[in-house]
Structure 1
Amino acid sequence: MLSARSLFQEILDNDDSYRLFCSIAASGEAQGGWENARIAALVPDSMRALAPRITRHGADEDKHGRIFHALLRKRGLEPLPVPPETDYTMLLERQGIGLTHDKLRREEPLSDEDIVVYLSHSRVTEQRAADQMVMLVKYFGDHPEVGRAIRMISNDEDNHLAYCHEELLRLASEGHGRTIQRVLRESALAEIRIYRDVSLAVMSHMGRLLHWPAPKAAALAAGIHGLYTYERLGGWHRMISLRMPERRGALDGPAPAAPAF
């Protein structure tokens, strides 16, 4: 039976597919770490109080990248170059979502609106990350090789999502509500398309590595298209709602260490 559990188990059991999975994940986390570090450095004076939390967000992402590299080393594997069609972060940037790397490379302070855009974009992408990690914890949280890493990353992603909710609600109360609403909608509708395209690309690569028969590859592609249809018809609304989280101040303080990795 084709299921998320059996699919991921198959990827875990094969060194080539596992190498690709960890390489893609490590690259995405490293990009997130760099982006957040640059945003923290360029925060405008009017929002300087946010800088420590943005720095913590970036430190968490860097830690996740190191964890995926450590999982590769544990098997004696080296990371692969990430195929461009699977680069979720850069594909979102090309769609005009979030802050561009060109802007982040400059030494010019960001504007208040830039920070609102960053947090709104993050609320959408962190929802995706948190959902994925919840699924992985459900099926592989006790796995002897990856379970500890998955649980740690999932907890961090929940913190990131809580931080986005809390800060966006605060900014909405300060008069940024219309911008937040607009950027959330634009980001969510773009994200679900990019997630579909990246998922199809990743599954195509995995299919070649694992020698999937055509019917299996077609069934997986159909499932990805089905998820996109559901999200396009209304599922995307879960990515733009805002509510005060139970975890308040989720990114206060330094990032917890991960000495085991």
Structure 2
Amino acid sequence: MFDSLGSLYLPCLMRSPRGRAFMLHFMARAEEADEAGVFDTLLARVDDPALNKMVRVHRDDETRHAALLRGCLERLGIEPEPVPPELDVVAGIDRHAGGLTTAFVDGRLGVMEAYLLLQVIEERGVKQFPRIAQAMRPFDPESARIIDGITRDEERHVKYAKAISRRYAPDEATLNRVLDRYRAAEARAVVENGRALLSFATRRGLDGSRGLERIFWGAVASLGQVRGGLVRAHA
């Protein structure tokens, strides 16, 4: 969701009601996204009853999280900015990982690969959600409390992912090799997402900054986009 730069910018974004509305909407959309039917496909393929139950709980948790975040957004009473495609970090991870989601649903990849991708996504949530809650707490403690609860669920989801992927892995070496590849893809996607978030938020004025502060963050956003373009051009 955010690289180190995005994390530094987060308190600025959360002090603004428009910034908080956007973040709650952004998080709710991420929780709502059953990537191209991945959970439904997993339920059809995970044959162990105990593990199948984990998949159902995981899916239902994501639906419940989205409803909780939508409730926070409704209480705030501000229409959020639409989330542009470049801020879909899950799609970015999937792209860098070689289109895993489509391959899985099409039957070309197995349960291990799907749950390793979910693992790296949930691990990122465990790292980032507490930062969002901390930045939001001075302005909206109730939403921060709800995000804290979601984080605890995400910690449990990481355990689910590890158990299920290990059960369906052909061997430990294969599991570790694929997991390393997905973590590398996730790291690249998060850097891109952090730059895109900063650029979008400053361009739309979501942080409410003024004067020199607005000039500073605008310049940082522009520099980040230039660097990102140079890296992609030479990749």
Q: Same fold (TM over 0.5)?
A: yes
Task: Report what 2:173 is aligned to.
Answer: 178
Could you list the per-position Cα deviations for residues 2-32 of structure 1 after superposition, in whole angstroms to 9, with x for gaps in the alignment?
x988843432332322222222211111114
The 1:9/1:44 distance shift into structure 2, 3 A limit, reads closer
Q: Secondary structure at the match of 1:145?
A: helix
Task: Report what 1:154 is aligned to.
Answer: 151
Structure 2 unmatched ranges of 5 or more: 226-235
* Mapped contact 1:97–1:187 kept (Cα < 8 A): no
Task: Report what 1:187 is aligned to.
Answer: 182
The 1:68/1:222 distance shift into structure 2, 3 A limit, reads farther
Task: Report what 2:192 is aligned to.
Answer: 197
User: Which of residues 26, 50, 61 is equivalent to 2:28?
Assistant: 26
The alignment status of 1:120 with 2:112, answered yes or no, reads: no
Which of 197-206 and 73-82 deviates more? 73-82
CA distance in 2, matches of 1:88, 1:207: 18
Query: Alpha-carbon deviation of 1:186?
Result: 1.2
* Mapped contact 1:69–1:79 kept (Cα < 8 A): no
Structure 1 unmatched ranges of 5 or more: 225-261
CA distance in 2, matches of 1:194, 1:6: 18
* Superposition map of 1:79-158 within 5 A: 79-97=80-98, 99-101=100-102, 104=105, 114-138=110-134, 140=136, 143-158=140-155
CA distance in 1, matches of 2:6, 2:101: 33
* Mapped contact 1:137–1:154 kept (Cα < 8 A): no
| Aligned-partner residue type, residue 16 of structure 1 | R
| Aligned-partner residue type, residue 122 of structure 2 | E
Could you list the per-position Cα deviations for residues 91-133 of structure 1 after superposition, in whole angstroms to 9, with x for gaps in the alignment?
22233457424753x6xxx58x511001211221211110112
Which of 20-29 and 203-212 deviates more? 203-212
The 1:186/1:6 distance shift into structure 2, 3 A limit, reads closer
Same amino acid, percent of matched pairs: 23
Indicate the structure with greater helix content. Answer: 2
CA distance in 1, matches of 2:92, 2:6: 25
* Mapped contact 2:94–2:101 kept (Cα < 8 A): yes
Task: Report what 1:11 is aligned to.
Answer: 13
Q: Paired residues, what number? A: 216
The alignment status of 1:166 with 2:163, answered yes or no, reads: yes
The 1:5/1:185 distance shift into structure 2, 3 A limit, reads closer
Query: Which structure is higher in RCO with an 8 Å CA cutoff and minimum separation 6?
Result: 2
Query: Alpha-carbon deviation of 1:170?
Result: 4.4
| Aligned-partner residue type, residue 197 of structure 1 | E
The alignment status of 1:207 with 2:202, answered yes or no, reads: yes
* Mapped contact 1:31–1:89 kept (Cα < 8 A): no
TM-score, scaled relative to structure 1: 0.69
RMSD: 3.3
